[in-house]
Amino acid sequence: MRVVVSTHLDDAVFSCYALLGPGTVVVTVLAGVPPEGVLGDWDEAGGAASSHRRVLERRAEDERALALPGATPVHLDFPDSQYWPELGEPSAAAVSDALRTYLDGEVYAPAGIGNPDHILVRDAVLAVRPDAVLYADLPYALRHGFGRYGRDIWLDDDAAARKIAAASCYATQLEQLAADFGDFLAPAAVRRERVFPGR
C-alpha cells in the first residue's frame, strides 16, 4: 500500500501527482470542518462568507481531484492554521497519534518547504515513520527551491495534462495561489516533482 500524507486539501495533487493512482491513500491532516461562525483570513480573502461551508467545498474538491487518478481520500479533523486563533493549534504528538493508523506500507510526507503547517505534518509523520520519503512542497518549492539530494520526477505531456486537470478541481484556491505564485499550473511548472529520503 502507498500512503501520501497531505497537509492541506490540495497539496498531494500539486506536489506529488506522480505518486497518485489506484491503491494510493491520501491522508489530509488539516481538513477539519470548523463550526459555523468561524471565518478564517485566507477563506475571507478568497470570497468565502463561512469557513464551515468553505471547508466542505474544499473536501468535495479534493474528492473530485483524487478520483481522477483513482486515489482514495481520507480527511482528518484537525483545523487549518487560519483557524488556530479560534480553535487552537494541534500538537505534533496529537497529529502523530491520529496518523499512526494509516502509516503502513510505503509512506510519503511533505518536506516542509516554505510553509510551517507542512513542517508540523512532516514532523508528525517522521515521529511515527522515520523512514518516510519526503516530497517537495509545491508551489512553495517554485519560490524557495527544491532542496538538495533529492530525486526529480519529470511528468511527460500526458501526465502533466492529467495533473493540471486534477489541480483545476481546487477552484476555491487557484486564484489566490496564482496571485502569490504566478502561473504555477503552467505545463513547465507542473512537470517537475521531487522526492527525498526521510531522516
pLDDT in tens, 55-105: 999 999 999 999 999 999 999 999 999 999 999 999 999 999 999 999 999
pTM for the structure as a whole: 0.95
pLDDT surpassing 90 at residue 188: no
Q: Does pLDDT of 15 surpass 60? A: yes
Q: According to the model, what pLDDT value does residue 198 have?
A: 57
The C-alpha R_g of the chain, in whole angstroms, comes to 16
Element (H, E) at 166: helix 157-167
At 142-176, the pLDDT tens digits run: 999 888 789 999 999 999 999 999 999 999 999 99
